[in-house]
Structure 1
Amino acid sequence: LQNVRIDPSSLSFNMWKEIPVPFYLSVYFFHVVNPDNVLKGEKPQVQERGPYVYREFRHKSNITFNDNDTVSFLEYRTFQFQPAKSYGLESDYIVMPNILVLTAAMLVENQPLSLKVLMSLAFSTLGERAFMNRTVGEIMWGYEDPLMDFINKYFPNLLPFNGKFGLFSELNNTHSGLFTVFTGVKDFSRIHLVNKWNGLSKVSFWHSDQCNMINGTSGQMWAPFMTPESSLEFYSPDACRSMKLVYQEAGVFEGIPIYRFVAPPTLFANGSVYPPNEGFCPCLESGIQNVSTCRFGAPLFLSHPHFYNADPVLAEAVLGLHPNHQEHSLFLDIHPVTGIPMNCSVKLQLSLYIKAVKGIG
């Protein structure tokens, strides 16, 4: 037991501090084949591009042991592109929805008409369109856009960032918040459980106490001595919520016994299908979670890839989606004696909700 506690004298401390197993982030994009026709009301037709693979390096810093059997730390992440593992280059061009334009349009939807006209003029003057053709590198790590300067000048505080805009620009060389977790030194039953995140015992993104709870671990190690009745619960700052995976089966990974944990069908279910998720609403079809409240109001939705395990109407609304269990489900394989992950495949999809905003043209 002493060797799995979070303690500088334990055998697993260095592994906890800097995880030796290589992490890889594989990114796929949906290239929109018919953007002009989409604006006329036709179904989007997409081609999946990728994977664009990045090696993810993680290291903990500012490690501080507290008096209440907890330790606080910041975990920094850096990403390095891996051309040999990728199917394509960061210089590849992708046609996709213009997140900045569509987010700006949605954010002024309930503003006075004069502000909508001002935003429309900006779109026209700056040559902004509903779809953009950008490189993978720009989409991932950021690009200069004069619209950003315009918004920050005339609509201060509408967007929470300046400079370049990119999907992952906020993640590289940054940390995911201050975690405070139990060390298990005094109370072994609470080992790795999150005590606070950024000083908070619960978040305020959602509309129910249950959905705002910070449950489980920080998502890297779990309590040892698992049984098939165990579940894997963790708080994800990227998803702004706690998630719970359930036991599926026992197996072996490279000669090591493991328990496989998978996402239950209810993970992204809406409130009408799974009432405990009502706090994550307003919801659309079941199987996609509205994360706009924790993503500066941008109309973003989280789901399994290709809308796997979601209402079939979602995949049917887009040509080129083929949801299936083997390619699009997620799992974690855990060594049950130590609680250490041996293998994982966490697959998630981020989608942008597009609609016409009256007064914006």
Structure 2
Amino acid sequence: MKSTSKRVLLILAISLIVVGAVMGALWGTIFDNILKSQLELTNDSTTFKLWKETPIPMYIEFYMYNVTNSEEVRNNKAKPILIELGPYVFSEEHSKTNITWNKNQSITFNQVRRWHYLPDKSIGSLDDKITNLNTMSLVVASMSHQFPESMIKFLNIFLNKEGSLFNTKTVRELLFEGYDDKVIYWLKRLEVFTHIHIPFDKFGWFYMRNNSWSYDGVFNMFTGTGQVEHLGKMHSWNYYTRVPYYDGHCADVNGTAGELWPPNETGNEVTMFVSDLCRSITLNYEEEQSVFGVVGRKFIGRRSVVANATDNADNKCFTRGKIYPSGVFDVSGCKFGAPAYMSFPNFYLADPFYLDNVVGLKPEKDKHEFQITLEPRTGIPLSVSGRLQLNLHLQPVKGITMYESVPDVFMPMLWFTERAAVTPDLADEVKLLLIVPTAGQGIFFGLLGLGVFLVLVHVLMTLRGNWKAGEANAQLVVTS
């Protein structure tokens, strides 16, 4: 009976040693394969469920610039004095629709974004009135140089009658609701003569975007199937692998779509394609950052993003042939020809040229930095603060009376922060996920140790049995 128990003990010990040693050595690889299968975008992966209907709370905060001395600016008698109003805060929800799985391990889809106003988180009201440049009048004036003299005379008469240099509208009109504009009304009817195409019937910075599946365009990105390092990376946008708004490498559609990132990211920079800008932006690693106890790698937008071709030669193909001091980049081709330029809020990291031409701005790193923090092993975004400012270039326009005496200034119109962060509950799930490899190895090597211990027990039991047998034999000899 004792012999059978010892054999069972030995078999158990050897089994524990084999399982513990093999699984302990291979657990890291096994876990990585399991993790990859869940990170890859497939019909039944965890990532797909989270990506299709983003569960992380997201917000967008708008800050509007109100010009308090429009009459003086109109006659170039003073710098624009700006008062920043807001934030006007909206919750933001993302969902994906029109999903098509492709044979090249990519997925094609449209994105629906929904915004809901949150008065309790906002400062001010959507009925606040904002005075700033009349965007549509400026668009027409800025495009007039491409027309013959006779057409410029017509546009001058047209703008004097229907346009204005400044206008005053409510925040709700300027953002999502839009407002009727006589310039739009007549341009849509005179398109055959002016060849100026206006694809909307009202003007508002986010007009027609709320709950639209088509506005953001058609995305095609890699699913990471078989090559998880390509997860979330863009293949094309609106069927372009190279957008028509820029030249050279600047036209390339590259980087991630912004929501999914490849795991095991250890590089010093990450790139994301921003459809609102029709271009990619590269962020640089700055430091480690803890978000609810999860340590991530923080990437930020540095001056190189908004540098001109002199300060950053790689940006030459973004300039569209125009060289301005570092601090803004041209998105006019992406914005229906409007003289639109993006910068960091309050001209953060910009050349003093921009701040010197207006009054009321105060750039600060903590408030105006563009940043994203990624958990490196999984690529999960822990915290995002995407901050950008929209500016219109106001300058004298020959032949257009309304603009002949205006100053040359990049006028801030609004800036926004798109903010998202994991919740404490989600952070706990990420922490649990991250300790699985170490915990698994600990368990399996623990089994290995237990197996070794049981082998020692078996050896001791065998030796003890031998000792007792020896003693018994010795007593028999003595008795004999």
- TM-score category (smaller protein): over 0.9
Q: Counterpart of 1:108 in 2: which secondary structure?
A: helix
The answer as to 2:274 corresponding to 1:239 is: no
The answer as to 2:344 corresponding to 1:309 is: no
The answer as to 2:40 corresponding to 1:5 is: yes
Residue 78 of structure 1 is matched in structure 2 by 114
> Please, which of 13, 29, 46 is the counterpart of residue 64 of structure 2?
29
Aligned equivalents of 2:268, 2:105: Cα separation in 1: 23
The answer as to 2:183 corresponding to 1:147 is: yes
Which structure 1 segments of 5+ residues have no match?
none
Residue 111 of structure 1 is matched in structure 2 by 147
How much does 1:121 deviate? 2.2
**2:217–2:237 Cα contact (<8 Å) kept:** yes
Which structure 2 segments of 5+ residues have no match?
1-35, 402-480
How much does 1:119 deviate? 2.1
Aligned equivalents of 1:14, 1:230: Cα separation in 2: 29
Residue 259 of structure 2 is matched in structure 1 by 220
Aligned equivalents of 1:94, 1:220: Cα separation in 2: 33
Equivalent residue letter for 1:13: F
- What's the TM-score once normalised by structure 2's chain length? 0.72
**1:4–1:10 Cα contact (<8 Å) kept:** yes
**1:24–1:53 Cα contact (<8 Å) kept:** yes
How much does 1:226 deviate? 2.0
How much does 1:337 deviate? 1.6
Residue 90 of structure 1 is matched in structure 2 by 126
- Written as runs of structure 1 = structure 2, the 5 A alignment for 1:50-89 is 50-89=86-125
The answer as to 2:369 corresponding to 1:329 is: yes
Q: Counterpart of 1:356 in 2: which secondary structure?
A: coil
- What's the TM-score once normalised by structure 1's chain length? 0.96
Q: Counterpart of 2:151 in 1: which secondary structure?
A: helix
How much does 1:230 deviate? 4.3
Residue 134 of structure 1 is matched in structure 2 by 169
The answer as to 2:245 corresponding to 1:187 is: no
Equivalent residue letter for 1:75: Q
Aligned equivalents of 1:170, 1:232: Cα separation in 2: 31
Q: Counterpart of 1:58 in 2: which secondary structure?
A: strand
Equivalent residue letter for 1:344: V
> Please, which of 301, 309, 334 is the counterpart of residue 271 of structure 1?
309
CA deviation map 1:319-345 (0-9, x unaligned): 101112111111101111211111111
Residue 253 of structure 1 is matched in structure 2 by 291
Residue 55 of structure 2 is matched in structure 1 by 20
Equivalent residue letter for 2:139: T
Residue 389 of structure 2 is matched in structure 1 by 349
CA deviation map 1:82-139 (0-9, x unaligned): 111111111110001100111111111332233222222223333x320101001111
**2:187–2:198 Cα contact (<8 Å) kept:** no
Equivalent residue letter for 1:300: A
- Written as runs of structure 1 = structure 2, the 5 A alignment for 1:154-173 is 154-156=190-192, 157-173=195-211
Aligned equivalents of 2:65, 2:355: Cα separation in 1: 13
**1:315–1:323 Cα contact (<8 Å) kept:** no
Aligned equivalents of 1:268, 1:360: Cα separation in 2: 31
Aligned length: 358
Q: Counterpart of 2:71 in 1: which secondary structure?
A: helix
Higher relative contact order (CA 8 A, sep 6+): 2
Worse-superposed segment, 281-290 or 151-160: 151-160
Q: Counterpart of 1:43 in 2: which secondary structure?
A: coil
Equivalent residue letter for 1:251: Q
Residue 80 of structure 2 is matched in structure 1 by 44
Residue 283 of structure 1 is matched in structure 2 by 323
Q: Counterpart of 1:149 in 2: which secondary structure?
A: helix
**1:283–1:289 Cα contact (<8 Å) kept:** no
Which structure dedicates a bigger proportion of its chain to helix? 2
**2:188–2:198 Cα contact (<8 Å) kept:** no
Q: Counterpart of 1:150 in 2: which secondary structure?
A: helix
**1:333–1:342 Cα contact (<8 Å) kept:** yes
How much does 1:188 deviate? 2.2
Q: Percent identity?
A: 32
Residue 359 of structure 1 is matched in structure 2 by 399
Q: Could you say which structure has the larger radius of gyration?
A: 2
**2:283–2:302 Cα contact (<8 Å) kept:** yes
Aligned equivalents of 1:5, 1:110: Cα separation in 2: 49
